[in-house]
Amino acid sequence: MARLSTRISIRWGDEPTSEPTTTLVMGVGGYFIDLRVNKTDSSVDWAFAGRRETVCQEPLQCRWHHIIDSRNMFAPDEGSFVTLPNGDSLETGSMACPERGGAVTPYEEVWRVLSTGSERGWILKREDEAAKTITFLGRVGSEFLAMVQAEGGGPLTVQREALEKTGDDGTQSWMVKFRGGEAELPSLAAAGLLTFPGEESWTEGSRVDMQGDLYTVCAVEHGT
């Protein structure tokens, strides 16, 4: 199922639990797009996208392969999950902690699944051989994320858009909710579209035209 999740809290080692970011994670099939924005100054805390691998089903353990990453951290990371009594998920593992100079540190994160309705979700990828860039686009329900970065790392550009009611008659439009970086990205808001042309017929593995560029459909699923 296509999923949207938000992080409720994080804890590094024996430090107090906190949530310094507004985080949205989009998961479709075996792919993900993850955007974390600092609450204090609306800067990008972390933005990355790539492939998710299920290492073990019981208990659930996942490995994330970062294909693009604003921190230029491309080594895979892993986490294990248990379901809490309220339905949230507790993720535990160890990863590099920026606040500790990149030292690998145990962590705990609490995640909550957001309702997406019955709409399909999808994630697309484009590898531009001429520009040497990799772009990920994703939509689940009323959320759209786009990220682009040079192959091998460097500055990353990200944009988040949300489908919102904009008229008393129930009219909806895509609105830009966050933008970081200077590169151009496909945009539903800028194009004045509700969906991209042909979106309803996309299938996994197909090549689709996205505002003049060809993208590969990595995954397509129904929402939760």
CATH number where 38 lies: 2.40.128.320
What is the Cα–Cα distance from 89 to 110, expressed in whole angstroms? 6
Residue 46 and residue 106 in one domain? yes
Last residue of a domain, one of 72, 95, 114: 114
Return the DSSP state at 50: E
User: To which H or E segment does residue 182 belong?
Assistant: none
Residue 173 and residue 94 in one domain? no
The total of structural domains in the chain comes to 2
Last residue of a domain, one of 114, 146, 166: 114
Provide the mean pLDDT of the chain.
95
Residue 202 and residue 128 in one domain? yes
Residue 168 and residue 84 in one domain? no
For the entire predicted model, the pTM comes to 0.95
Question: 67-104 pLDDT, tens per residue?
Answer: 999 999 999 999 999 999 999 999 999 988 888 888 99
What is the Cα–Cα distance from 184 to 177, expressed in whole angstroms? 16
Give me 143's structure tokens. 């959320």
Q: Which domain holds residue 107?
A: 3-114
Question: 129-182 pLDDT, tens per residue?
Answer: 999 999 999 999 999 999 999 999 999 999 999 999 988 888 999 999 999 999
CATH number where 125 lies: 2.40.128.310
Residue 144 and residue 197 in one domain? yes
Beta strand spans in the chain (E): 3-12, 21-28, 31-38, 44-57, 60-69, 77-83, 89-97, 103-114, 120-128, 133-140, 143-150, 156-165, 172-180, 207-210, 213-222
Residue 107 and residue 7 in one domain? yes
Residue 223's pLDDT is 66
Question: 199, 193 in Cβ contact below 8 A?
Answer: no
Residue 18's pLDDT is 97
Last residue of a domain, one of 95, 114, 133: 114
Alpha helices in 97-187 (DSSP H): none
Of 37, 71, 77, 96, nearest to 154 by C-alpha is 71
